[in-house]
Amino acid sequence: MARVRRYAVAASGQWTHEEEGRRRLPSGEVHAWERGLNQTVCGLSLSH
């Protein structure tokens, strides 16, 4: 059976959606990353 990949979001900012119960959403430059790795799916480093 194939491994199911789960991705998280790495974003340069965030904003709060007031109409959806103050839910925080990503903004700015947004990339997917796989937990446990120190880089985004497209290869950008998450460390400064």
Arithmetic mean of pLDDT, 16-31: 86
Arithmetic mean of pLDDT, 16-45: 87
pLDDT for 38 equals: 86
Q: pTM higher than 0.85, yes or no?
A: no
pLDDT score of 48 more than 80: no
Find, among 19, 42, 48, the residue nearest to 9 by Cα: 42
pLDDT for 14 equals: 92
